[in-house]
Amino acid sequence: MLHAAECTDIVRHGDKPALAALIAKARLAGETERAALFNAADAARRPYYGKNVYFRGLIEFTSYCKNDCYYCGIRAGNRNARHYRLTAEEIWACAAKGYALGFRTFVLQGGEDPWYTDARICEIVSGLKERHADCAVTLSIGEKSFESYKRYYDAGADRFLLRHETANDAHYRLLHPPELSLAHRKQCLYDLRAIGYQVGAGFMVESPGQTDETLAEDFLFLRELQPHMVGIGPFVPHHDTRYAGLPTPTADFTLVLLSLLRLMLPKVLLPATTALGTVDPLGREKGLRAGANVVMPNLSPVTHRKDYMLYDNKICTGEEAAECLQCLSRRIASAGFIPDFGRGDHADRVEKAARA
């Protein structure tokens, strides 16, 4: 039997074998045990965030990438991928639309695209901040040097999302080409933290080669890093990758892992991801009930959405930002949560700001 108190103790203090055993057990948990786990996770975030669900406006601004991650639909080697880049003005226009809809956090995400030099990224970030001083800007643009990260931070970027993907070296090798390394990815996360960003790490669930042991290492790494955000979502195969044809997972295991992460890091900002909504039409609502507290509706121009196809059957690629938002906030409210368009900073940052 899984007991919430025991789960909490293991995720916070257990060693790798204990974590792997817990994850194996949780994978096989029956309905009643899962419901108890979800309830415990839901209760764990209440003291910090109540029933609020934070909305972030996602702007996917480039589908070019110099990397060739083996699982990713927009990888450099995919000759069938269609590419686009947004200009600074187009990005600001997406944000202006989002601002009018109520968003106060914008997430700029893209492949690692050298066309966006540091100077261009800084111009985009500072331009956003000049237009919307009350908003938080999150970047998700991959691995850069300490100096580059520092420049973006000084230009006004507040947060950075960089999933570590897996904390196990051999598993990392199964997912990435030799020029990319786990050591460098981790170093980037430590650099971002040292600079002062609110940092997000994370991984795909049921990615090729993932085991209970590699997941235990993910938990240990996250426990050590203590990120402000953790992004996890099911791995969904893309037809133009070497992992085409693998089965698409259900939402089940991701939900259990969301709960365990919430118990380990009660203050973490935890998205119910688009990938979760892709594998299950009610995936995002289920994710929120399992302990997640962030959603990231798409503000990218509809004309380009189908070209940011990381995996097959990605949802919300046909709707305008406003439609997408209305639909999602209605669904979230009827699931019993409170849509919150504020900046939605990590609880520690809110507390620190209040003390200052």
Residue 65 assigned ligand-binding role: yes
Which of 74, 264 has the CB closer to ligand FES?
74
Cβ at position 153, least distance to ligand FES in Å: 22
* Binding of residue 121 to ligand SAM (CB under 6 A): no
Q: Which of residues 66-85 bind ligand FES (CB under 6 A)?
A: 67, 69, 72, 74-75
235: partner contacted, choices ligand SAM, ligand FES, none (Cβ within 5-8 A by kind): ligand SAM
Task: Write down the least CB distance from residue 100 to ligand FES, Å.
Answer: 29
Q: How many residues bind ligand FES (CB under 6 A)?
A: 8
Q: Report the distance separating Cα 302 and Cα 62, nearest Å.
A: 14
Q: Which does 139 bind (CB under 5 to 8 A by kind): ligand FES, ligand SAM, none?
A: none
Tokens standing for 27? 């994978």
Rule CB under 6 A: which of 177-236 touch ligand SAM? 204, 233, 235-236
Q: How many angstroms separate the CA atoms of 2 and 277, rounded? A: 26
Residues 82-111 as x/- pattern, contact with ligand FES by CB under 6 A: -----------------------------x
The 10 Å Cβ neighbour count of residue 46 is 12
Is residue 181 near ligand FES by the rule CB under 6 A?
Answer: no
Q: Which is nearer to ligand FES, 72 or 188 (CB)?
A: 72
Pairing mode of beta strands 52-55, 294-295: parallel
Query: Per-residue b/e over 129-155, b at no fewer than 16 CB within 10 Å?
Result: beebeebbbbbbbbbbeeebbbbbbeb
**Residue 84, number of CB atoms within 10 A of its CB:** 17
- Return the number of other C-beta atoms located less than 10 Å from residue 236's C-beta: 24
Q: Confirm or reject binding of residue 255 to ligand FES (CB under 6 A).
A: no
Among 56, 36, 29, 42, which residue's Cα sits nearest to residue 287? 42
Say whether 69 counts as a known binding-site residue. yes
CA-nearest of 7, 1, 14, 4 to 43 is 4
> Per CB under 6 A, does 72 bind ligand SAM?
yes
| Phi, psi (degrees; rounded to nearest 5) at 153 | -65, -45
* 163 interface partner picked from ligand FES, ligand SAM, none, CB below 5 to 8 A per type: ligand SAM
Which of 37, 65, 139, 292 is the binder for ligand FES (CB under 6 A)? 65
# residues contacting ligand SAM (CB under 6 A): 19
Q: Please give the Cα distance from 186 to 163 (Å, whole number).
A: 9
- If binding is defined by CB under 6 A, does position 71 make contact with ligand SAM? yes
Task: Determine the Cα–Cα distance for residues 269 and 45; give it in Å rounded to an integer.
Answer: 9
Encode 311-320: b = buried (16+ Cβ within 10 Å), e = exposed. beebbbbebe
Among 8, 78, 138, 140, binds ligand SAM (CB under 6 A): 140
Q: Measured from the CB of residue 231, what is the shortest distance to ligand SAM in angstroms?
A: 7
Nearer to ligand FES, 98 or 111 (CB): 111
The whole-angstrom separation of Cα 325 and Cα 275 is 17
| Residue 165 assigned ligand-binding role | yes
User: CA 40, 335, 34 angle in degrees (round to 5)?
Assistant: 30
Element (H, E) at 185: helix 182-195
Q: To the nearest whole angstrom, how small is the minimum distance from the Cβ of residue 278 to ligand SAM?
A: 8
Please answer whether residues 217 and 255 qualify as being in contact, where contact means their C-beta atoms are separated by less than 8 angstroms.
Answer: no
CB closer to ligand SAM, 38 vs 71: 71
- As measured in angstroms, the least distance from the Cβ of 164 to ligand SAM is 9
Q: Rule CB under 6 A: which residues touch ligand SAM?
A: 71-72, 109, 111-112, 140-142, 162-163, 165, 204, 233, 235-236, 238, 275, 310-311
Query: Contact residues for ligand FES (CB under 6 A)?
Result: 65, 67, 69, 72, 74-75, 111-112
Annotated binding residues, as ranges? Answer: 65, 69, 72, 140, 165, 185
Please state the residue numbers annotated as binding site for [4Fe-4S] cluster: 65, 69, 72
